[in-house]
Structure 1
Amino acid sequence: MASNRPAQPTSFAPNDTHTFGYASGKDEGTWEEWNPTEDSVLPVRGRHRVGKQRGGGLARSSTVLGVGVIAAVGAGGMATAAPGKAPVSISLPDLSSVTESAKALISDGGSSAPKGSTTPLTSAGLTSVDTAQGATDAGEALRARIMQQAESQQNQVDTAAQQAAQAAAAKKAVALAAKQQDDAEAKAAAVKKKAEDAAKAEAEAERLAELAKSYSLPTSSYTLTSTFGEAGSMWSSGYHTGLDFAAPTGTLIKAIHSGTITEAGWAGSYGYRTILTLDDGTELWFCHQSSISVSVGQKVATGDVIGRVGATGNVTGPHLHLEVHPGGAATGIDPMAWLQGKGLNP
């Protein structure tokens, strides 16, 4: 609304003979203030621009009006006038008709505004599960769901860690049990092998002891001087081919085992030699004898005297030179090892 123009100043002093239509004189020198009103002041002439309403404005205005009407009804169904005036009753249509009218206006105006909801905002996000659990506030329900999900994830992590720890412990226990079993088996195998070896040694000792009863050393009161395989220029083969028992001349020479005399006589560098052939074909050569007490073809038993120690042939002193030829072979083997295999220890 345009404001009123200010009052024009007067060029004359008022007196009791001039009376204006806008004020009433009272006592002389006393005037009431001029308060122009809408009735006493002419409207200001001029152009006033009015904004054009765009399409759909009527529908929107009607919708707002409908909402306002509903709000008024919710407030009590009574509008109150300005202070000092009597209240005026307002008749309102049925709410259902107003709602239908608002829907129609929205549809006519081409508006796609979403329909309103009477659900309170605090319960708008509640699900049936939340409601069943007694939740009444959407925020609290959301917070509870988040906390529940976090707790579930933490429980999953804890469960996975616990399962991993249990698996590692089980694996360690299995490995430890396997190691203990392997150790126990190895120990048992070692004990068994030791027992078997002891049993074998005992059996071999018994066999040799029994065998020794049928074998005997070739002489007594002797000293071993040269062993098998020793190198030297005094031997034609370049090495020693037998085992020497040094003993005084005339010391008895005995049959080591039962067998048959296959040779008895002079043998060049071997001096006087006697060959005893055993039942398995092994030949025993007794060399450098001073005398021979048996003849070819004679059967002898273990311990029978077959000759005496001497220094005949290629020698440096009296001794018995013993050789062993398995199967009558030209090359002999170590007499020491052969005697030990028969239970004898020279």
Structure 2
Amino acid sequence: MASDRPAQPTSSPPSDTHTFGYSSGKDEGPWEEWNPTEDSLAPVRGRHRVGKQRGGGLARSSTVLGVGVIAAVGAGGMATAAPGKAPVSISLPDLSSVTDSAKALISDGGSSTPQGSTTPLTTAGLTHADTADGATDAGEALRSRIMQQAESQQNQVDSAKQQAAQTAAAKKAVALATEQQDAAEAKEAAAKQKAEDEAKAKIEAARLAELAKSYTLPTSSYTLTSTFGEAGALWSSGYHTGLDFAAPTGTLIKAVHSGTITEAGWAGSYGYRTILTLDDGTELWFCHQSSISASVGQKVATGDVIGRVGATGNVTGAHLHLEVHAGGAATGIDPMAWLQSKGLNP
């Protein structure tokens, strides 16, 4: 039977990379016209999802590649089959729809999340607190946190200084209050002591005034010339043992207090001497008299005349030499102090 087909070449046609057909050397015709539709070009979903490249690169899906090839071929309007094949007419849809589908496929990427982060680098590290405070820049947020920390530390230092100042002021106030209290207490104690001393002095003055009523000075119109304890060659003991009342010869000598005359007469360097013994045993020696007016054993009262001033014995002038021997002791005591203890002031 005769064939309408053209004779086949004896050798396999060479591969033509410039034609759209994919011939394996065998006759697989007849070729049918392929009209791509929107459904056939819809992006593949599910497991065959195409991932995006970082930075917005094209997807690597073969479907997208095919679409790109179709779009390129569409520019020529016709694809050619392998050598020896009859040209096949290819109808292409509106390129705008193909382009839109490709763009949708590339931009959607099968609804997969793009790799990498679209967050600006300046917002990296921002916390919710930073965002709530209105921070939009990570550097500014870090600077803000550092400034806040520095301010917090400075506030702590200031607070510590203020606390230390308050503590020092409180201690100073306590010390001042304590000092003032001590001063007030000391002043109060001093005033109290003064009042007590004044009260005691008044009591003692009253006592002495009352006591002085029973005591009197041994003579009148006198001058004190030598006191007890004065050193000098004039006294055989080396020091003065009494109190001297210088007065004109014949001046009356009186009993200082009531008592008994236990001695009256000559006593060597003392001249004429009268000894009056008081009820408590104290002996009063009246020396250098010009005359004696009392006798031994006589009871005398305060102010009674017992003799007269003279210059007998070891003297340099007329005077009364008074000695006081407490308890009848051989060694006398200071007559000045003893008279004062009785409320008398020579």
TM-score (norm 1): 0.65
Match of 1:68 among 53, 69, 72: 53
The 1:253–1:139 alpha-carbon spacing in structure 2 relative to 1, beyond 3 Å, is same
Once the two structures are overlaid, the 10-residue window that deviates more, 139-148 or 315-324, is 139-148
Any conservation in 2 of the 1:124–1:138 contact (CA below 8 Å)? Answer: yes
Shift of 1:257: 0.9
Once the two structures are overlaid, the 10-residue window that deviates more, 115-124 or 151-160, is 115-124
Aligned twin of 1:130: 130
The 1:164–1:235 alpha-carbon spacing in structure 2 relative to 1, beyond 3 Å, is closer
Shift of 1:255: 0.7
The whole-number CA distance in structure 1 between the counterparts of 2:272 and 2:299 is: 19
Q: Deviations over 1:315-341 (max 9, x none)?
A: 333322111111111111221222122
Aligned twin of 1:172: 172
Secondary structure at 1:294's aligned position in 2? Answer: coil
The whole-number CA distance in structure 1 between the counterparts of 2:68 and 2:192 is: 115
The 1:124–1:325 alpha-carbon spacing in structure 2 relative to 1, beyond 3 Å, is same
Shift of 1:218: 0.6
The 1:317–1:127 alpha-carbon spacing in structure 2 relative to 1, beyond 3 Å, is closer
Q: Deviations over 1:124-178 (max 9, x none)?
A: 3133433555655434433332332232223222222222222232222223222
The 1:125–1:216 alpha-carbon spacing in structure 2 relative to 1, beyond 3 Å, is same
Which residue identity does 1:271 align to in structure 2?
Answer: G
The whole-number CA distance in structure 2 between the counterparts of 1:79 and 1:209 is: 145
The whole-number CA distance in structure 1 between the counterparts of 2:251 and 2:279 is: 27
Q: Deviations over 1:280-329 (max 9, x none)?
A: 21110011222222222222221112122223322333322111111111
Question: Structure 2: which 5+ residue stretches go unaligned?
Answer: 1-49, 77-94
Aligned twin of 1:243: 243
The 1:163–1:242 alpha-carbon spacing in structure 2 relative to 1, beyond 3 Å, is same
Query: Aligned-pair RMSD on alpha carbons?
Result: 3.5
Any conservation in 1 of the 2:52–2:109 contact (CA below 8 Å)? Answer: no
Any conservation in 1 of the 2:51–2:109 contact (CA below 8 Å)? Answer: no
Which residue identity does 1:71 align to in structure 2?
Answer: G
The 1:79–1:326 alpha-carbon spacing in structure 2 relative to 1, beyond 3 Å, is farther
TM-score (norm 2): 0.65
Give the number of aligned pairs.
266
Secondary structure at 1:336's aligned position in 2? Answer: helix
The 1:130–1:97 alpha-carbon spacing in structure 2 relative to 1, beyond 3 Å, is closer
The whole-number CA distance in structure 1 between the counterparts of 2:312 and 2:145 is: 119
The whole-number CA distance in structure 2 between the counterparts of 1:312 and 1:125 is: 127
Written as runs of structure 1 = structure 2, the 5 A alignment for 1:45-124 is 67-68=52-53, 71-72=57-58, 85=75, 95=109, 116-117=116-117, 119-124=119-124
Secondary structure at 1:145's aligned position in 2? Answer: helix
Question: Structure 1: which 5+ residue stretches go unaligned?
Answer: 1-64, 103-114
Aligned twin of 2:188: 188
Any conservation in 2 of the 1:72–1:79 contact (CA below 8 Å)? Answer: no
% same residue:
81
